[in-house]
C-alpha cells in the first residue's frame, strides 16, 4: 500500500513536470506568426488603462454599460471589463476600489448618504438623460376593455377580477422584483384598496406573468418600471395613482401617492475620478434618452445580439450623439 | 409507524424464518409506542386552538418592516463597509487573500481563457487546451475518459461558450484544491478526536443549510468583487461533503488493521500515511467527487457577484427570458459535471494498482508492444502471451504522446483559428449545431409546448393552491405562535424522544429571535408539502427503477441532469407553465429534490434480499402486494434516508422558490441581497432557514433511528 501511494505521487509529479516543461518549451517559440498583437486604439494623449464598469442585472443597464464600454475600448484604448454585480455591491466596490463606475443609478438615498455624503468615496457623475418610472401596470388588453382602469379610483370596482389563489379573496397586486423598494403595502392600506400584495419574487416572474396575462386574456395588476426592454415587446399601461408631490412619501407608513419620477444618474469612484483617465470625461458626458436605451436593449433582449454588437450597431447609427460625448 | 410495519409484514414461510429473523432482529421486541394515537391527539388539540385563536399572536411582519435585530445587523454591516478597508482583518488579511487568489486566477485565465493583453487571444488557444486536458485524462484515467473529455471540451467551443466554460473549470479546480487542502486534515482530525467532530459538525450543517444569498454581499465585501469571492463561496459550500466523507472514510478503517499496524510499532504519522490514508483513499475520492458536484452547483450564485464561469450566461439569459440560451449554458454545466465525475472515478479505480493497459488498448497496441525493448515490457504472467508494460514503458509511451500535444499547443499559439474557437462563419458545418441554433431549437420547442399546455397547468396550479396549499398554510401560519411551537415540540417528542425535542426548542427560540416567525411558518408549510410530493414521486419512480433495470436505465440520466442543472435554468419555464405562486415554488423544489430521493428509494428496493422476494412470490402475492407488503416495508431505512435528504434538498430551494412567488423566507433572503436597508432582515431569514433545517433534520433522524429499530 505504501508503494501504491508513492507510485501515485511519482506519477503526479511526473505529469506536472512533463506538462510544465513542454509548455515552457513551446511558449518560448510562440508569439508572432498568424496572430497580431492588439493595437492600443487611437491615441488620445493620456493612457486609459483599465475601466471597470459595474453591470447591474437589467438589460437597460447593460445597454448603457456596453455603449460606454465599446467607445472606451475602440476610441480611447481602455482595457474594459464588466463586473456583474447588484447595485449595493457595486457601490461597495467603488468604495473599496474594485469598480470604477456605475452607469445607471436609481436614487438609492441611503447609499448616497453612506458613500457620497459621509465616506466621500463616490462622486455623482451627472444624469444619464434617462427617466425612471416606477408604478402599477396592466396588460394592454385590459386597458382596451376597461379604459377607466388606469385611474386608481376605479381599482376597487375591478378588484374582483384580480382575485387569484394567492390573494385570499381580495384583488391581487403582483409585486416584487426584490431589487427595489416598494411602498405598495402601505399604498394599498392608505388608499383603502381592496387588494393584497403578492410577491412575485423576480423580474422574470413579473415579465412572464404579463406575457401569460396578455396571451390568455387574464387580468393582472403588477408593479413594474420603465425604461425596460419588455416595453418593446408589449406596451404595458400605467395605472395612475394620486400624483406625486414633494414629501408625500416622507413617512413610508403614510405614503398615499405615486412613486416619484427618477432622474437616473451615473456614479464614479473618487479614486477613478482623480486618476485623470480619459474615460472619466466619457462617463461624465454620456447622456441619452429612454428611447435610445430601449433600442439597444431590444437588440440584446429581443434580437439576441451580444451586448457589444448591439452597442456597435447603435454607435454606428448615431455618430452625432457619440461625438458630443467624446468631446472632440 | 414502527407498529404498523411490524403488522404489515406477512408471516414469512417457515423455511425462511431463520433468515428473516436475522434481517429484522428487533421487530417483535420493540416497545409498543402509541405514536399514531398520540399524533392524532396533538392534531385535535391543535385544530381546537386554531379554531378559537385564529390570527392571534401570529407575529406577522410587513414586507418592508424590520426589527431591532435586523437593524443591529445592518449597523454591523455599515461599520464593515465604512471602516473595513482600514481594518487589519477585513482590509489586511481578507484583502491579502483576495488579491493573492485574484492574481493566481487572472494568470491562469490569461494562460487559457481570456486575451493575454496585448495578445488578442490567450497564451494557449483552444486546440492546445483540449490536447493538454485530453493527454492528462488519458494518462490518469484511460481512453474512455479521454474521449469524454475531448467531446465535452469541443462542445464548450461549438456552443460558443469557451471562455465561460474554461473559467468555470478553473474556479472548480481551484476551489476543490482549497477544499482538499483544508478538508483532508480537518476530516482526519475529526476522525481522531470526538470533541473536534462535535465542534465542527454543526458548523458544517450551517455551511450546508445557510442559503448563500444571505452571505453573498458580505463575502463580496470582504474579498472584493472577483474570482476570489467566487472561490470562497464555492469552498464554503463544497467543503462539508469532503470533510464529512473523509471523516467517515478514516473512521471506517477496521480496528483490527489499526491494531495490527500498531503492534508493528508504527508512529501516529506513519499510521496515517501508510495505513489509514491508503485504506480510506477510495472513500476520500468519493468525497472529492461530491465536492466537485457541490462546487459546480454554486456557479450561478457566484455569478451574481461577478464569479467567472458558466453562471454568467445563465443569469444573462434569465434577464431577457431566453430559455434556450439558459439551457445551453446549463447543459454545459451538466456535461462538465459528468466529465469530472466519470474522469475522477476512473482515475481512482485505476490507481487501485490494477494494470492499466487492458481491454481494447491491448488489442490496439499489441503489435506495438511486441516491438518495444525489454525494459519497457514484462510478461502478463500465467502463460498469457500478451506482454504488459512496465512503469518505465508506460511513461515512455506517455512521453511520446506528449509530442503531438506540444505541437497542438504550438499551433494554438500561432494560428488564430486554433487559438479562438471558430464560429459558424469560419466553419460552416457548425451552423446547424452551434449555440445559436440549439438555442433556437430549444426556444421553439418550449414556446410550442408552453402554448399547448399552459391553460391546463395554470388551472392546475390554482386548484391545488386553493384545495391543498392554502388550508395547510393557514393552519400553520395563522395559529398563535406559542401554539405552533408547542405542537412542533410535541410532535418532536412523540416521534423522536426528548433529545430532538430539546434541539427543536433551541431552534424554535432562534427562529422566534429572528423576528420572522410568521414567514417561517409559511416556509415550513411549503417545505413539508414539497417533501411529501417529493416522496410520492420518489416512491413511484424508485419502485419502478428498483424492480426493472430497463426503467432504471431510461430514467437515471434525467435524474442526473436535474440534479446538476442550475435551477435558474428552469425558472422561466416553470413560471410560464404555472405562473407566479407558491405552487411554482413547490414544483421547482420537486424538480431539484426528487432525483436524490428517487435514487435512494430505488437503491433500497433493489437491496431487498432476493430470497425474501422469491418467498413472497411463492406464496402467490400479486405485484401490488409485493410492493406494498414486502418491498416497501423492507426498504424502509432507505425510505427514511430518502425523506431526510429530500427534505434538506427542498429546504435548499427555499430561496429559489422565493424568486418564483414562494414569498416568505426565500423572498426575504433575496430582497436582503438586493436592498441595502433589508440586509439584516435577509440575513435573519437565512438564519431562520438554517435553524429550521437543523430542526427538521434532527427530528427526522431521531424518528428514523426509532423506526429502524
Helices and strands in chain B, H and E counts? 35, 2
Contact: B279, A57; criterion CB under 8 Å: no
Distance CA B280, CA B192 (A): 14
Q: How far is A73 from chain B (nearest CA, A)?
A: 13
**A17 within some domain:** no
In B, which residues are within 8 Å of A37 by CB distance? Answer: 118-120
pLDDT at res. A30: 45
Q: Please, what CATH class does the domain formed by B35-62+437-708 belong to?
A: mainly alpha
The residue with greater pLDDT, B275 or B15, is B275
Contact: A18, B121; criterion CB under 8 Å: no
Rg of chain B over Cα atoms, rounded to whole angstroms, equals 28
Distance CA B351, CA A3 (A): 12
Taking each helix axis as running N to C, give the angle between helix B311-319 and helix A203-216, from 0 to 180 degrees, rounded to the nearest 10. Answer: 40
- Using one digit for the tens of pLDDT, what is the confidence trace for B589-607? 999 999 989 988 988 888 8
pLDDT at res. B391: 73
Taking each helix axis as running N to C, give the angle between helix B212-223 and helix B679-708, from 0 to 180 degrees, rounded to the nearest 10. Answer: 130
pLDDT at res. B3: 34
Lowest mean pLDDT among A253-257, B154-158, B169-173: A253-257
Q: Are B240 and B254 in contact (CB under 8 A)?
A: no
> Is the same domain home to A244 and A148?
yes
Q: How far is B102 from chain A (nearest CA, A)?
A: 12
Q: Return the residue matching grid coordinates 385570499.
A: A168
DSSP H helices in A173-306: 184-190, 203-216, 270-274, 278-285, 290-301
pLDDT at res. B29: 47
In A, which residues are within 8 Å of B329 by CB distance? Answer: none
A110 — contact with chain B (CB < 8 Å)?
yes
- Using one digit for the tens of pLDDT, what is the confidence trace for B490-540? 999 998 889 999 999 999 999 999 999 999 999 999 999 999 999 999 999
In chain B, pLDDT over 90 holds for what percent of residues? 34
Q: Are B82 and B504 in contact (CB under 8 A)?
A: no
For residue B241 the three cell numbers come to 461533503
For residue B442 the three cell numbers come to 430549444
B16 — contact with chain A (CB < 8 Å)?
no
Contact: A86, B470; criterion CB under 8 Å: no
**Which residues in chain B are classed under CATH 1.10.3720.10?**
35-62+437-708
pLDDT at res. B379: 55
Q: List Cβ neighbours of B557 (8 Å cut-off, separation of 6 or more).
A: none
Residue B24 binned pLDDT confidence (cut-offs 50, 70, 90):
very low
In B, which residues are within 8 Å of A23 by CB distance? Answer: 124, 132, 406, 409
Q: How far apart are the first and last CA of chain A?
A: 74
Query: By C-alpha distance, which of A111, B516, B387 is closest to A102?
Result: A111
Contact: B675, A38; criterion CB under 8 Å: no
> Is the same domain home to A273 and A310?
yes
Q: Are B436 and B442 in contact (CB under 8 A)?
A: no
**A86 within some domain:** yes
**A244 within some domain:** yes
A/B interface, count of CB pairs below 8 Å:
262
* Rounded average pLDDT over B198-203: 90
Instruction: Reply yes or no: is the peptide bond before residue B118 cis, omega within 30 of 0.
Output: yes
**A287 within some domain:** yes
DSSP H helices in B608-678: 610-618, 623-625, 632-634, 636-652, 654-659, 664-674
Question: Rounded to 10 degrees, what is the CA torsion of B434, B437, B442, B443?
Answer: 140
> Is the same domain home to A141 and A202?
yes
In A, which residues are within 8 Å of B455 by CB distance? Answer: 216
> Is the same domain home to A223 and A235?
yes
A63 — contact with chain B (CB < 8 Å)?
no
Distance CA B105, CA B168 (A): 11
DSSP H helices in B162-276: 162-192, 194-209, 212-223, 227-251, 255-263, 268-270
Q: What is the 3-state secondary structure (H, E, C) of B107-142?
A: HHHHHHCCCCCCCCCCCCCHHHHHHHHHHHHHHHHC
A192 — contact with chain B (CB < 8 Å)?
no
Low-confidence ranges of chain A (pLDDT < 70): 1-46, 328
pLDDT at res. A37: 60
* Half-sphere exposure of residue A310: CA atoms within 13 angstroms, side-chain side: 26
Which helix (H) or strand (E) covers residue A138, if one does?
strand A122-138
In A, which residues are within 8 Å of B120 by CB distance? Answer: 35-38
Residue B10 has pLDDT above 70, yes or no: no
Angle at A144 between CA A235 and CA A174, to 5 degrees: 60
Distance CA A273, CA A97 (A): 12
Q: What is the DSSP letter of B424?
A: T
* Rounded average pLDDT over B104-118: 86
pLDDT at res. B354: 41
Domain boundary residue, one of A254, A278, A311: A254
- Using one digit for the tens of pLDDT, what is the confidence trace for B300-337? 999 988 899 999 999 999 888 889 999 999 999 999 99
Q: What is the DSSP letter of B313?
A: H
**A11 within some domain:** no
Distance CA B370, CA B388 (A): 10
**A28 within some domain:** no
Residue B433 binned pLDDT confidence (cut-offs 50, 70, 90):
confident
Q: Are A107 and A180 in contact (CB under 8 A)?
A: no
B423 — contact with chain A (CB < 8 Å)?
no
Domain boundary residue, one of A236, A254, A272: A254
For A:202-261, CB contacts with B below 8 A are: 202-209, 211-212, 215-216, 229, 252
Q: How far is B670 from chain A (nearest CA, A)?
A: 6
Contact: B406, A166; criterion CB under 8 Å: no
B61 — contact with chain A (CB < 8 Å)?
no
pLDDT at res. B364: 46
- Which candidate from A23, A97, A205 shows the least CB-CB separation from B409? A23
CATH code of A62's domain: 3.40.190.10
**A106 within some domain:** yes
Strand partners, B388: B378
Contact: A15, B455; criterion CB under 8 Å: no
Q: How far is B11 from chain A (nearest CA, A)?
A: 49
For residue B228 the three cell numbers come to 476570489
Neighbours of B22 (CB within 10 A): 8
- Using one digit for the tens of pLDDT, what is the confidence trace for B340-375? 988 888 887 776 544 444 444 444 455 555 555 666
Q: Are B309 and B168 in contact (CB under 8 A)?
A: yes
Distance CA B119, CA B125 (A): 11
Task: Find, in chain B, the residue whose alpha carbon is nearest to that of A306.
Answer: B316
Q: What is the pTM of this model?
A: 0.85
In A, which residues are within 8 Å of B81 by CB distance? Answer: 92, 95, 114
Helices and strands in chain A, H and E counts? 12, 9
Neighbours of B25 (CB within 10 A): 10
- Which candidate from B84, B225, B658 shows the least CB-CB separation from A89? B225
Domain boundary residue, one of A254, A282, A304: A254
pLDDT at res. B685: 94
Q: List Cβ neighbours of B572 (8 Å cut-off, separation of 6 or more).
A: A204, A208, B318, B321, B323, B326
Q: Return the residue matching grid coordinates 417561517.
A: B520
Q: What are phi and psi of B426, to 5 degrees?
A: -95, -50
Residue B394 has pLDDT above 80, yes or no: no
Lowest mean pLDDT among A146-155, B234-243, B352-361, B563-572: B352-361
For A:123-162, CB contacts with B below 8 A are: none
Query: By C-alpha distance, which of A12, A3, A8, A2 is closest to B276?
Result: A2
> Is the same domain home to A115 and A140?
no
Interface mutation target, options B317, B446, B478, B579, chain A, most CBs of A under 10 Å: B579
Contact: B661, A114; criterion CB under 8 Å: no
Q: How far is A230 from chain B (nearest CA, A)?
A: 9
CATH code of A187's domain: 3.40.190.100
**Cα A223 from chain centroid?**
17
- Number of structural domains found in chain A: 2
Q: Return the residue matching grid coordinates 414586507.
A: B63
Q: How far is A98 from chain B (nearest CA, A)?
A: 6
**Max CA-CA distance within chain B?**
92
Strand partners, A124: A267
> Is the same domain home to A139 and A125?
no
Residue B681 has pLDDT above 60, yes or no: yes
Q: What is the mean pLDDT of chain B?
A: 84
CA distances B376 to B142, B373, B384, B404, Å, are: 19, 6, 17, 21
Q: Are A170 and A159 in contact (CB under 8 A)?
A: yes
- Which candidate from A30, A79, A114 shows the least CB-CB separation from B410? A30
Contact: B119, A98; criterion CB under 8 Å: no
> Is the same domain home to A147 and A217?
yes
Which helix (H) or strand (E) covers residue B438, if one does?
helix B435-464
Q: How far apart are the first and last CA of chain B?
A: 11
- Using one digit for the tens of pLDDT, what is the confidence trace for B508-518? 999 999 999 99
Domain span including residue A225: 133-254
Contact: A22, B405; criterion CB under 8 Å: yes
> Is the same domain home to A101 and A118?
yes
Distance CA B173, CA B336 (A): 12
Amino acid at each position: 500500500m505504501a508503494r501504491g501511494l508513492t507510485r501515485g505521487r511519482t506519477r503526479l509529479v511526473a505529469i506536472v513536470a512533463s506538462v510544465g516543461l513542454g509548455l515552457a518549451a513551446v511558449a518560448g517559440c510562440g508569439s508572432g506568426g498568424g496572430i497580431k498583437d492588439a493595437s492600443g486604439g487611437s491615441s488620445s494623449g493620456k493612457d486609459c488603462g483599465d475601466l471597470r464598469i459595474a453591470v447591474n442585472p437589467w438589460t437597460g443597464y447593460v445597454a448603457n454599460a456596453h455603449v460606454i464600454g465599446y467607445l472606451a475600448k475602440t476610441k480611447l484604448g481602455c482595457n474594459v471589463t464588466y463586473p456583474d454585480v447588484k447595485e449595493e455591491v457595486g457601490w461597495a466596490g467603488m468604495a473599496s476600489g474594485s469598480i470604477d463606475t456605475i452607469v445607471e443609478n436609481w436614487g438609492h438615498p441611503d447609499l448616497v448618504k453612506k458613500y457620497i455624503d459621509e465616506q466621500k468615496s463616490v462622486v455623482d457623475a451627472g444624469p444619464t438623460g434617462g427617466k425612471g418610472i416606477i408604478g402599477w401596470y396592466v396588460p394592454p388588453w385590459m386597458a382596451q376593455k376597461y379604459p377607466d382602469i388606469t385611474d386608481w379610483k376605479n381599482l376597487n370596482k375591478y378588484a374582483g377580477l384580480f382575485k387569484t389563489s394567492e390573494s385570499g379573496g381580495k384583488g391581487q397586486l403582483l409585486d416584487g422584483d426584490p431589487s427595489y423598494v416598494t411602498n405598495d403595502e402601505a399604498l394599498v392600506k392608505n388608499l383603502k384598496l381592496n387588494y393584497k400584495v403578492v410577491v412575485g419574487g423576480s423580474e422574470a416572474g413579473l415579465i412572464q406573468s404579463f406575457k401569460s396575462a396578455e396571451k390568455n386574456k387574464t387580468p393582472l395588476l403588477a408593479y413594474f418600471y420603465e425604461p425596460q426592454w419588455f416595453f418593446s415587446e408589449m406596451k404595458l399601461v400605467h395605472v395612475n395613482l394620486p400624483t406625486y408631490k414633494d414629501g408625500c412619501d416622507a413617512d413610508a407608513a403614510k405614503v398615499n401617492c405615486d412613486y416619484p419620477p427618477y432622474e437616473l444618474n451615473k456614479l464614479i469612484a473618487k479614486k477613478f475620478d482623480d486618476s485623470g483617465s480619459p474615460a472619466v470625461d466619457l462617463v461624465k458626458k454620456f447622456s441619452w434618452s429612454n428611447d435610445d436605451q430601449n433600442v439597444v436593449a431590444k437588440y440584446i433582449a429581443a434580437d439576441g445580439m451580444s451586448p457589444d454588437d448591439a452597442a456597435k450597431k447603435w454607435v454606428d447609427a448615431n455618430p452625432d450623439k457619440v461625438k458630443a460625448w467624446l468631446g472632440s | 409507524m414502527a407498529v404498523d410495519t411490524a403488522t404489515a409484514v406477512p408471516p414469512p414461510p417457515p423455511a425462511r424464518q431463520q433468515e428473516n429473523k436475522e434481517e429484522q432482529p428487533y421487530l417483535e421486541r420493540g416497545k409498543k409506542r402509541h405514536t399514531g394515537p398520540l399524533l392524532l391527539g396533538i392534531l385535535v388539540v391543535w385544530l381546537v386552538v386554531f379554531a378559537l385563536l385564529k390570527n392571534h399572536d401570529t407575529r406577522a411582519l410587513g414586507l418592508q418592516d424590520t426589527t431591532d435585530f435586523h437593524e443591529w445587523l445592518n449597523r454591523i454591516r455599515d461599520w464593515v463597509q465604512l471602516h473595513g478597508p482600514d481594518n487589519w482583518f477585513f482590509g489586511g488579511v481578507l484583502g491579502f487573500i483576495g488579491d493573492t487568489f485574484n492574481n493566481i486566477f487572472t494568470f491562469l485565465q490569461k494562460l487559457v481563457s481570456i486575451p493575454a493583453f496585448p495578445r488578442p487571444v490567450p497564451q494557449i488557444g483552444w486546440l492546445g487546451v483540449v490536447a493538454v486536458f485530453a493527454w492528462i485524462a488519458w494518462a490518469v484515467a484511460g481512453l474512455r475518459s479521454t474521449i469524454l473529455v475531448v467531446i465535452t471540451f469541443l462542445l464548450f467551443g461549438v456552443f460558443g461558450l469557451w471562455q465561460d466554460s474554461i473559467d468555470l473549470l478553473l474556479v472548480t479546480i481551484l476551489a476543490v484544491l482549497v477544499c482538499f487542502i483544508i478538508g483532508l486534515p480537518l476530516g482526519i482530525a475529526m476522525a481522531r478526536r470526538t470533541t473536534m467532530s462535535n465542534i465542527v459538525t454543526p458548523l458544517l450543517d450551517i455551511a450546508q443549510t445557510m442559503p448563500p444569498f444571505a452571505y453573498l454581499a458580505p463575502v463580496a465585501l470582504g474579498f472584493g468583487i472577483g474570482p476570489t469571492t467566487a472561490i470562497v463561496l464555492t469552498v464554503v459550500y463544497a467543503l462539508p461533503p469532503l470533510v464529512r466523507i473523509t471523516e467517515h472514510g478514516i473512521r471506517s478503517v477496521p480496528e483490527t488493521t489499526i491494531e495490527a499496524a500498531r503492534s508493528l510499532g508504527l508512529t501516529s504519522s506513519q499510521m496515517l500515511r501508510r495505513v489509514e490514508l491508503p485504506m480510506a483513499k477510495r472513500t476520500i475520492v468519493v468525497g472529492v467527487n461530491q465536492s466537485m458536484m457541490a462546487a459546480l452547483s454554486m456557479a450561478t450564485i457566484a455569478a451574481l457577484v461577478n464569479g467567472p464561469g458558466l453562471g454568467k450566461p445563465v443569469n444573462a439569459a434569465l434577464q431577457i427570458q431566453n430559455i434556450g440560451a439558459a439551457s445551453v449554458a446549463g447543459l454545459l454545466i451538466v456535461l462538465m459535471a459528468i466529465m469530472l465525475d466519470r474522469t475522477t472515478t476512473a482515475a481512482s479505480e485505476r490507481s487501485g494498482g490494477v494494470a492499466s493497459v487492458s481491454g481494447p488498448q491491448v488489442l490496439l497496441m499489441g503489435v506495438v508492444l511486441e516491438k518495444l525493448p525489454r525494459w519497457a515490457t514484462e510478461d502478463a504472467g500465467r502463460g498469457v502471451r500478451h506482454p504488459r508494460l512496465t512503469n518505465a514503458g508506460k511513461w515512455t509511451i506517455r512521453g511520446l504522446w506528449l509530442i503531438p500535444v506540444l505541437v497542438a499547443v504550438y499551433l494554438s499559439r500561432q494560428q488564430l483559428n486554433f487559438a479562438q474557437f471558430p464560429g459558424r462563419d469560419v466553419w460552416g458545418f457548425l451552423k446547424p449545431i452551434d449555440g445559436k441554433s440549439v438555442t433556437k431549437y430549444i426556444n421553439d420547442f418550449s414556446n410550442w409546448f408552453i402554448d399547448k399546455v399552459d391553460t391546463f397547468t395554470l388551472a392546475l396550479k390554482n386548484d391545488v393552491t386553493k384545495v391543498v396549499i392554502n388550508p395547510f398554510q393557514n393552519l400553520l401560519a395563522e395559529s398563535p405562535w406559542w401554539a405552533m411551537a408547542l405542537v412542533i415540540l410535541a410532535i418532536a417528542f412523540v416521534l423522536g424522544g426528548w433529545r430532538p425535542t430539546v434541539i427543536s426548542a433551541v431552534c424554535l427560540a432562534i427562529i422566534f429571535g429572528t423576528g420572522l416567525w410568521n414567514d417561517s411558518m409559511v416556509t415550513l408549510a411549503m417545505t413539508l408539502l414539497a417533501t411529501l410530493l417529493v416522496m410520492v414521486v420518489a416512491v413511484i419512480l424508485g419502485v419502478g427503477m428498483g424492480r426493472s433495470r430497463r426503467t432504471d436505465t431510461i430514467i437515471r440520466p434525467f435524474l442526473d441532469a436535474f440534479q446538476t442543472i442550475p435551477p435558474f435554468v428552469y425558472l422561466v419555464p416553470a413560471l410560464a407553465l404555472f405562473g407566479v405562486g407558491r405552487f411554482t415554488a413547490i414544483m421547482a423544489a420537486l424538480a431539484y429534490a426528487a432525483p436524490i430521493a428517487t435514487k435512494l428509494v430505488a437503491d433500497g428496493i433493489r437491496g431487498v434480499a432476493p430470497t425474501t422476494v422469491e418467498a413472497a412470490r411463492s406464496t402467490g402475492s400479486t405485484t401490488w402486494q409485493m410492493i406494498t407488503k414486502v418491498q416497501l416495508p423492507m426498504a424502509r431505512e432507505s425510505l427514511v434516508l430518502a425523506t431526510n435528504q429530500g427534505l434538506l434538498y427542498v429546504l435548499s430551494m427555499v430561496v429559489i422558490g422565493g424568486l418564483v412567488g414562494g414569498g416568505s423566507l426565500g423572498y426575504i433572503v433575496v430582497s436582503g441581497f438586493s436592498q441595502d436597508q433589508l440586509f439584516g432582515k435577509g440575513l435573519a431569514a437565512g438564519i431562520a432557514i438554517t435553524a429550521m433545517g437543523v430542526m427538521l433534520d434532527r427530528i427526522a433522524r431521531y424518528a428514523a433511528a426509532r423506526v429502524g429499530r
